[in-house]
C-alpha cells in the first residue's frame, strides 16, 4: 500500500473512530487543555497569573509558585495546594465567563494561624481544610458573589460557604456540603 492509499483509508475510517468512542475523544481533548489561573491577594497585594496544567500534566514549577503565593501570609508557612482545588477554581472561572483574577482572602493557613483565628471567630473551623491546602476564600471583583456561590454549589465538588457580609465564597475539596 502506498502513502496515498494509506491516507485515503485512514480518512475513510476517521468518522467511524469518532462515532465508536466519543468519550475517549473528549477525554483526549481535555488532556490537551491548558489551564491557567490569575490571582490577586487582598492581604499581600501581590498578583500571580500562571499556567499550571499543560499537555495532560500539572506543571511542577507552576504548582510551587502557586503554593508560595497562597502561603500563610501571617507566618510565611508554605504548604502544597491541592491541584483539585485549582481545577475547581479554573472550572468556576470558566463557568462565569470571567477573565478576571480571583481575589484571594485566604489560602493556606498554618495550624498556628488557624488556632488564632478560631479563638477569635466562630466562623473558623478548628480543623479547617485551609490547613491542608484544600480550601480557599475568594471573590471575582466584578461578578456577583451570591451568583458565584450558586455556580460553585452546582458543581457538587466539595464544600461551599457564602459570607455575604465579607463578600467572599469559601471553596474546598472536602465532602460536598454547603453553608
Domains present along the chain, CATH in parentheses: 1-32 (no CATH), 33-178 (3.30.1380.10)
Question: Grid coordinates standing for 34?
Answer: 491548558
Cross-sheet strand order for the sheet of 168-172: 57-58, 47-54, 35-41, 102-106, 135-139, 168-172, 159-163, 177-178
- 105 vs 42: CA distance, rounded Å: 6
CA-derived radius of gyration, the chain: 20
The pLDDT tens digits along the chain (179 residues) read: 665 655 556 555 555 555 555 555 444 555 568 999 999 999 999 999 999 999 999 999 999 999 999 999 999 999 999 999 999 999 999 999 999 999 999 999 999 998 888 777 766 776 789 999 999 999 999 999 999 999 999 999 999 999 999 999 999 999 999 99
Strands 102-106 and 47-54: unpaired
Specify the pTM.
Answer: 0.81
Amino acid at each position: 500500500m502506498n502513502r496515498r492509499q494509506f491516507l485515503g483509508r485512514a480518512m475513510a475510517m476517521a468518522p467511524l473512530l469518532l462515532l465508536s468512542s466519543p468519550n475517549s475523544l473528549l477525554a483526549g481533548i481535555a488532556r490537551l487543555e491548558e489551564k491557567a489561573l490569575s490571582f490577586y491577594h487582598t492581604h499581600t497585594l501581590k498578583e500571580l497569573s500562571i499556567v499550571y496544567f499543560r499537555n495532560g500534566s500539572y506543571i511542577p514549577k507552576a504548582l510551587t509558585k502557586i503554593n508560595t503565593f497562597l502561603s500563610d501570609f501571617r507566618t510565611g508557612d508554605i504548604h502544597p495546594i491541592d491541584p483539585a482545588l485549582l481545577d475547581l477554581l479554573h472550572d468556576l472561572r470558566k463557568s462565569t465567563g470571567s477573565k478576571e483574577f480571583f481575589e484571594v482572602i485566604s489560602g493556606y493557613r498554618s495550624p498556628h494561624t488557624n488556632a488564632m483565628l478560631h479563638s477569635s471567630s466562630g466562623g473558623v473551623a478548628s480543623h479547617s481544610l485551609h490547613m491542608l491546602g484544600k480550601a480557599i476564600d475568594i471573590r471575582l471583583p466584578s461578578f456577583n458573589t451570591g451568583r458565584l456561590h450558586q455556580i460553585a454549589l452546582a458543581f457538587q465538588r466539595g464544600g461551599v460557604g457564602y459570607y455575604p457580609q465579607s463578600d467572599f465564597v469559601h471553596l474546598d475539596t472536602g465532602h460536598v456540603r454547603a453553608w
